[in-house]
Amino acid sequence: MYILGINAYHGDSSASIMKDDKIIAATEEERFRRIKHWAGFPTEAIKFCLKEADISIEEVDHITISRNPSANIKKKILHTLKNRVGIRNVFDRLANSKKVGSVKSELATFFNVQESDIRAEVHQIEHHRSHLASAFFASPFKEAAILSIDGFGDFTSTMTAVGKGNQIEVLDSVIYPHSAGIFYTALTQYLGFPHYGDEYKVMGLAPYGEPKYVEDLKQLLEFTDDGLFKLNTKFFKHAKEGVSMSWEGGDPHIESIFSEELEKLLGPSRKKGEELTQKHKDIATSVQRLTEELIFHILNHLHQKTGLDSVCIAGGVAQNSVANGKILEKTSFKEVYIPSAGHDAGTALGSSLWFYNHELKKARLAPIYDAYTGYKTNDEEIEETLKEEGIEYKKYDELQLIEEVTSALVNGKVIGWFQGRAEFGPRALGHRSIIVDPRRDDAKELLNSKIKRRESFRPFAPSILEDYVSEYFEKTDKVPFMEKVYPIKPEKHKEIPAVTHVDGTGRLQTVEKGDRYYDLIEHFRQKTGTPLLLNTSFNENEPIVNTPKEALACYLRTDMDMLVIENYIISRA
């Protein structure tokens, strides 16, 4: 049985394919289209998944899409009438709903087949149920509390549930217009970061300020006694105007969400490119602090309600790795699982898991600690790519390659590292990474001057061998997907300045045996005594590279010192 999962007509469009209880492939459309957070119908991701499964679209048995336009339909109509929502927004929603219902037609057109030839039944799985399933059914827990929290999907922003075996019981939800994601996005826009997905910049800026504006921001966000929350809608436009989102050419864009009342409260918003003042940093700190308090408020009530010690979390807000790193400290939960693609891209797979486990009542998959479900190259493609560009290269055996790369790292080189299958999710996890010696105190400046050219306040992260986490971090945990930030032990700050943020923390990835990336870090440890590397995504203001061609292009247009693609090395030295 083949199940094709789709996240479509929204940012971070994606696709996945399952064969019975095995995940064959899962990937984001942006990796193929080369536009960050690509929105629309993920035809290239679907084509890739079918190729990996070695089947045609006619052989798919079930198609799941992580949208259900009929969900909360009465509440949608009531809200539209009560608030006299703008007619343009109403038409946008209707058009989007029509698209969701035309999946077979889209597939038939793209694959040049008759719609009647596509035998698969299409299942519309509500957005947050897809999120819930993406976390719980991938987790190692037989029973757990579950939280999905993001901007909006199917008129809902937050959903709590309990998972037991292959079933999920929804407990509660927060309905439009109230949303923690909208709160964070509105303040992100206010601080002068207007692009879709810029929220992580506020998280990176927060350690540079003081939480001086928390009490002011509490006017925007009310914690309720039932363990949920409400927005004060006078500070936001979306309640009456809707969330106007466009994706011309696949590039998602959200219009400004905050109202003039926010500027009356906090002062004029920062325009893009204006200087970041201390006030802006203090507001970022306050936004992050209040968001953390909200997450802990929800989780503590969820623990009281369920009495369970394990929790699974998904949704855009679940990508807040700083908050995630504090959950065990600030709540009563003892175990946390967050998938590699906790954002909307993960709902493609989540919708399939909901259908497979919850609706078909099939046995659970093995726990997922491996995000490597994307594109993989071969020697023929690599050599063809290099020869087309007239690039000189050397091919090494495994031991030679590890030695060569380790020596380059020790000598201060910035290296593009491309191996195996690409990661599913927004973070590079050692298969499409740029790596540097973390002991260099000039590494951030080096990376930004040679490649990244990004804001100076944004940190770089460490990949650490799992056996050494307790030596370097205040907390010991398995963090395979770089989804948590933990304090680095003070005595280690001077050893690894390149991955120690201004507040003494690091967003870690724990690396276990069985992967070439582990072997590289282990060899680096043997040479230096330091069991970790600086790891950042292999890109330059674009989606993470997917193919050898894109990796080579990134290398050639930047000042990267070395490019490693599987067993091939290209070097400027």
| CATH label of the domain that carries residue 91 | 3.30.420.40
**pLDDT value for 223:** 98
Of 66-80, 217-231, 301-315, 539-553, the least confident: 66-80
pLDDT at 243: 76
Of 39, 35, 34, the closest CA to residue 8 belongs to 39
> Looking at the domain assignment, is residue 163 inside a domain?
no
Rounded to whole angstroms, the Cα distance separating 403 from 524 reads 9
pLDDT one-digit tens code per residue, 477-497: 999 999 999 999 999 999 999
Q: Tell me whether residue 170 is in a domain.
A: no
Domain boundaries, position 93: 2-128
Q: Is 21 a member of any domain?
A: yes
Overall number of domains in the chain? 2
Q: Is residue 171 part of a domain?
A: no
> Which of the four pLDDT bands, split at 50, 70 and 90, describes residue 240?
confident
Q: Assess if residue 536 is contained within a domain.
A: yes
Residue 415 host element (H or E): strand 415-418
Q: Please tell me the pTM assigned to this model.
A: 0.94
Q: What is the pLDDT of residue 70?
A: 74
CATH number at residue 478: 3.90.870.20
Q: d(Cα 550, Cα 1) in Å, to the nearest integer?
A: 34
Whether residue 79 is predicted with pLDDT greater than 80 in this model: the reply is: no
Confidence of residue 90 (pLDDT cuts 50, 70, 90): very low
Mapped onto helix, strand or coil, the DSSP state of residue 168 is: strand
Residue after which a domain boundary falls, among 128, 161, 188:
128
Torsion of CA 85, 86, 90, 95, to 10 degrees: -150
Q: Which residues contact 104 (CB under 8 A, 6 or more apart)?
A: 63, 115, 118, 120, 122
Domain assignment present for 303: no
Tokens found for residue 452: 């990244």
- % of the chain at pLDDT higher than 90: 88
Q: Is residue 470 part of a domain?
A: yes
Q: Is 366 part of any domain?
A: no
